[in-house]
Amino acid sequence: MADHQPLLEQLKVVFFEEADEGLAVMESGLLELDPGSADSEAINGIFRAAHSIKGGAGTFGFAGISSFTHGMETLLDQIRSGQAQLTSPRIKALLHAVDHLRLLVEAARSGGKVDETRTDAVRKEIEREIEGHDTKVVPAVVATPGPDARPNVWSIIFEPNPAMMRSGNDPYLLLRELSSLGRATIEVDSTRLPPLEAFDPELIYLSWRIHLEGPRDEKTIREVFAWVEDECRLVIERQAAAPEVVVAVAPAQTNPTTPRPPQDPPVEQERRKTDLGSIRVSIDKVDALVNMVGELVITQSMLGQIERNFDLGKLSRLRDGLNQLERNTRELQESVMRIRMLPIRFIFSRFPRMVRDLSDQLGKDVELTMLGEGTELDKTVLEKLGDPLVHLVRNSVDHGVELPEQRRAAGKPGRGTITLEAFHQGSSIVIEIRDDGGGLKTDRILAKARAAGLIAADVQPNPEEINDLIFSPGLSTADKISDVSGRGVGLDVVRRNIRELGGNVSVSSEPGRGTTFTIRLPLTLAILDGQLIKVGDQTYILPLVSIVESIAMRPDQINAIAGRAEMYRLRDEYLPILRLHQTFGLAGGSQDHAGRLLVVVEGNGQRLGITVDDLLEQQQVVIKSLDTNFRRVDGVSGATILGDGTVALILDVAGLIAFAKGEGKKCSTTPTSSGRPWEAPQRRVDNI
C-alpha cells in the first residue's frame, strides 16, 4: 500500500478543501436564517454540506468528525422535515457546532488535539436541541408505532470493484456509516475469495448484503456510497415494513456507563484563519495563460529563424520580433498575475458571524452590509489583510455603533449599520469600513494626545489631524479597557501592517453621523508600475500611483519655516520639501535647488515634494522584499533589479512623508562600502 500513499494523501487534501468550503456554506447559511421562518432551500443546503463532510470523513477514517457531524445532521433533518422548529437557541447550537467541527477538521489535517470535554459539551448542546428539553442524558426509546409510523426496510447489495481500495476508499468505513442510519444486519459473501497463493492484499474479494431498518429514504442511503458509486455494484430495494422497531439512538446519547468511542484529538484555537494555501482557478484564466504561452513559443520560433540566418537586411524583422516578444511577455505576466487574484469574499466571509456574536455580547443591534465581495486582489495581499480588517470591524461594533437606547434618544433607528465595501480605483484597491454611529470625539482625542505629549499645548491641529491621532501608539479614548477592542488601542499596529503591504489607512468622521476607515492597497505585492528617478549617482524607484505631478523648481517659491524645514508654494498650496540627498546621505547634496525637479507625491492623504536630479523612464518592476533578503529599512519598501543588472531601491512614500514631518528615523547610520548610507549596492546580480 505504500506505493499508493501519495494518492491517498492527495485525496485527503481534496477532502479538507471541500470540508472548508462546506463549513463556510454552513456558517453563512445559518447566519441568514431567521428564527421561526425556516427557508427550506437554505436548510437543505446546510444539511447537504454537513452530510458531505460526514460522508467524506467516514471514507477517510476520521471517526470523530463523522460521529460529531451525525448529531448536527440529525437536528438539521428534524428542522427541514418540520419535526423541530427553527429557534434562536437551535441556530446558536448549530453555529457552536460549526465552530467546533472546524477545529476537528483542522485537528485531522494537522494531527493536533482538541479538548474532548469541549467536544462532549457541544455534542450535548446539539442533543438537547434534538430532544427539545434540557435533559443531559437521552435514553434510548423502544416504541411500537402505528401503521403510518413504521420505518422503511431496505435490502442493499454492495459489491465493490476489486481495485476500489486503491482510490483510498475502505468498504468497512462505508458499512459503518450505513449502520448509523438505522438497525443494520450485514451478511458477507466470500465466494470470490481466491486460493491463498493467489491472494492480493490490495484487492477486495468480498461483497455484502445489508438488511437496513430505519427512517431514511433511498436518496440518503445512496449518498453514503456517493464517492464510490462508479467503483461498485450497488442494488437498493425496498422491502415490507417490520411490525415493530427499536428507535436507533446516536452514540453520544448512550447511557453514561456505556464506553464512549475515542474522539479525534483537537487543536487549541478559537478559529482557524482562512487557508489560502491553494488556489482554485477558473478555466478561462487557464485558457488565457495557455494561449499566451502558445504566442510566446511562436515568437521564440520566429526569432530563432532570424538568428540562424541573420543579416542586416533582417534588422527590421528582428526589431518587430523583439517588440512582439515584449508584448507577449507583458501579457503573459498579466495572465499569471490574474491567476493569483482572488475575490475578497474569502476575507469578508468571516465578518457576518463576528458581527453577530459581538452584537449579542455587547447588547447591540448591528446589521452588516457587504459590497464588492467579488473585487479581486493578490493572494499575498489577501492573506495579510485579514487581521487589520478584523480589528477595524471590531472597533466599529464596540465603539462606533451606539446601544439601541442611545441611538433612539439621538433620533436614529435602534439598529445600527456597518458597511464593508471594496472596489478598484486605478491600480489600487480601496476598502471602506463605515458605521453610522456617534463618530469620533475630537475633543477627547485631543485632550488625551496632549496628556500623552503627542501634541504641544500651544498647537491647535485641524479636525483631520486630530482624527489621525488615533493611529498613535498607546492612545486610547475608551472609558474602560474591554476584551473586545478599544478605539486607539492597536490602531498603530493596523496602520503599520497596512503600510507593510504598501498601502495606507486613513479615517474620517462626522459627529453623530458615523466614522469611515479607508484602506488603500496595491493590487499585488509582486509587481508595480514605477518611475525611475536619479539622485546623485543613485537610481531609485517611486511607485507611479503615488506621483501627483513633477515640476521644475523655482527658487522664489521656496520658503524656510523655523523648526519645520522648507516649504514649496505650489499654486495655493504649501508642500513640505524632502531633500533625498540629505535624507539618504548621498554626495552632491547642495542647498541650491536651481535646475532640480520636484516630484509631488501623495500618501496617507498628505502631499510631499521630493527633490530629484532627473526623471528617467517608467517601467514595471518586480518587487523583492528587503525584510526577507536583508532587513527592514525605513523609507524603503523593497528593491528590484534593473535591466543592466544593478539593484535599485523602491521608495516608501508614507515613510518619506513621516521623515518630512520629523516622525521618521534612519534605520542605520552605518555607511555602505562606498562610505554612504542608504546606497544600493552597485553590482550586477541575478536575484536578491
535 pLDDT exceeds 50? yes
- CA pseudo-torsion sign 361, 362, 365, 367: negative
Q: Is domain 527-660 classified as CATH 2.30.30.40?
A: yes
- Res. 551: pLDDT tops 70: yes
Average pLDDT estimate for 539-565: 82
257 or 168, greater pLDDT: 168
| Distance (Å, whole) CA 641 – CA 549 | 25
| Angle between helices 63-81 and 88-110 in degrees, nearest 10 | 160
Integer CA distances (angstroms), 383 to 190, 269, 415, 493, 565, in order: 53, 18, 32, 16, 40
Would the pLDDT of 224 be above 60? yes
Q: What is the mean pLDDT of residues 149-166?
A: 82
Query: What pLDDT band is residue 462 in, cutting at 50, 70 and 90?
Result: confident
Reported pTM: 0.57
Q: Is the pLDDT of residue 255 over 90?
A: no
Lowest mean pLDDT among 47-61, 251-265, 509-523, 639-653: 251-265
Indicate the CATH number for domain 345-522: 3.30.565.10
CB atoms within 10 A of CB 550: 17
Tens digit of pLDDT for each residue in 511-534?
989 999 999 887 777 777 889 999
CA triplet 594, 558, 577: central angle to 5 degrees?
A: 90
Specify which of 244-253, 620-629, 631-640 reaches the highest per-range mean pLDDT. Answer: 631-640
User: Cell match 488535539: residue?
Assistant: 113
Confidence label for 366 from pLDDT (cuts 50, 70 and 90): very high
What are 142's three cell numbers? 423502544
Query: Are the C-beta atoms of 550 and 562 separated by less than 8 Å?
Result: no
**Radius of gyration of the chain measured on its C-alpha atoms:** 33
Q: How far apart are CA 486 and CA 438, in angstroms?
A: 15
Q: pLDDT tens-digit profile of 464-498?
A: 888 888 888 767 665 555 555 544 447 888 888 88
Residue 440, C-alpha cell as written in the block: 469620533
Whether the CB-CB separation of 650 and 636 falls below 8 Å is answered with yes
CB-side exposure of 318: number of CA atoms within 13 Å?
A: 11
The CA distance from 369 to 385, in Å, is 19
Q: Which CATH class is domain 143-253?
A: alpha beta
Average pLDDT value for residue range 437-457: 86
All structural domains of the chain with their residue ranges: 2-138, 143-253, 283-339, 345-522, 527-660
The rounded distance, in Å, linking the Cα atoms of 402 and 277 is 39
| Helix, strand, coil percent values for the chain (each to nearest 5) | 40, 25, 35
Q: How many CB atoms lie within 10 A of CB 74?
A: 19
Has residue 368 got a pLDDT over 90? yes
Where does 2-138 sit in CATH, by number? 1.20.120.160
**CA-to-CA distance for 440 and 470, rounded, in angstroms?**
9
State the average pLDDT for the chain: 78
Please determine, for residue 667, whether its predicted confidence score (pLDDT) is greater than 50.
no
Alpha helix ranges (H) inside 457-600: 463-468, 491-500, 580-584
Higher pLDDT, 173 or 127: 127
Span 190-200, average pLDDT: 86
pLDDT at 321 over 80: yes
Burial of 425 (0-12, 13-18, 19+ CB in 10 A): exposed
pLDDT at res. 146: 40
Q: Where are the beta strands (DSSP E) in 384-513?
A: 416-425, 428-435, 504-510
pLDDT at 71: 87
- pLDDT one-digit tens code per residue, 271-297: 444 444 566 777 888 888 888 888 888
Q: What percent of the chain has a predicted confidence (pLDDT) above 70?
A: 81
Helical pair 88-110 and 5-32, crossing angle rounded to 10 deg: 160
Mean pLDDT, to the nearest integer, of 108-126? 88
- CA 475 to CA 484: how far, in whole Å? 16
